[in-house]
Structure 1
Amino acid sequence: MDRTNGNLILFSGYAKLPTGITASEMYKVIGVIVLIDLDTDVIVEADCTLATKLANKHVSSALVGCSMKNGAEPLVRIIDHIYQGSAKKAIITALRIIYDKYRSHKDGMTPSALD
């Protein structure tokens, strides 16, 4: 995978975790990070900061291959179905934030840090 072609863009979303779960003791917030191919609008890689490798792998692998073309709701439905952990709402919030950033970028409204 050529990461220098300019069409692979990394997006991240963060949301507060509920108190009392292992991940919140470690991180306070969850980070969901996706690499999107802007030619196809498909998530090609994903990662998250859940506390266990299994949860991280399960959520991340469910996102890979998903299209961003139809909005955040298809991603939300996937997570709602495949993840029954306490961090579900935080993951969904992070995905909605990612989708908003993705839309802004596609619409040319992303501010540059170089300005």
Structure 2
Amino acid sequence: MPTKKIFISGYAKLPKGITATEMYSVIAVGLLVNANSGEIIDADCTLVTSVAKNFFRNCVIGENLNQVEAIEKMFIDGYFGSARKAIISAMRTCADKYRQVIVEGKPEVDQE
């Protein structure tokens, strides 16, 4: 049976005075997730430098949204950029959305 993949995004406000805030007012995190297991297959974010983006991807790909606390710990222990709290908040949002969509069966629909 092929893996069902879903896309989940999360956003969080960035702190003032950092380069990313000059370009964006929020950090956006996008995750391609195995819907059956919660494993993160691919990821991207709106951090400015390629080193920061690569660090983010290396931390989250292969991790599981069902264990978001372990992902948060990687950023607490290893990411010392100013956007750390925003990244963690955006990842929590993604984990919450995953639970709503998959576990609770309540897809979030944007109202336009």
Same topology, TM > 0.5: yes
Secondary structure in structure 2 of the residue aligned to 1:69: helix
Q: Of 59, 71, 76, which residue of structure 1 is paired with 2:72?
A: 76
Q: Distance in 2 between matches of 1:28 and 1:111?
A: 23
Q: Report how far residue 40 of structure 1 moved.
A: 2.5
State the identity as a percent: 41
Tell me the equivalent position of 1:89.
85
Runs of 5+ unmatched residues, structure 2: none
Q: Of 17, 20, 28, which residue of structure 2 is paired with 1:31?
A: 28
Which aligned runs of 4 or more in structure 1 are off by greater than 3 angstroms? none
Q: How does 1:1-115 map to 2 (within 5 A)?
A: 7-70=4-67, 72-106=68-102, 107-112=104-109
Q: Distance in 2 between matches of 1:74 and 1:40?
A: 16
TM-score w.r.t. structure 2 length? 0.89
- Aligned pair count reads 108
User: 1:7/1:104 Cα in 2 relative to 1: closer, same or farther (>3 Å)?
Assistant: same
Secondary structure in structure 2 of the residue aligned to 1:51: coil
| Bigger Cα displacement from structure 2, 89-98 vs 32-41 | 32-41
TM-score w.r.t. structure 1 length? 0.87
Runs of 5+ unmatched residues, structure 1: none
Q: Distance in 2 between matches of 1:76 and 1:93?
A: 9
- Aligned-residue CA RMSD in angstroms? 1.5
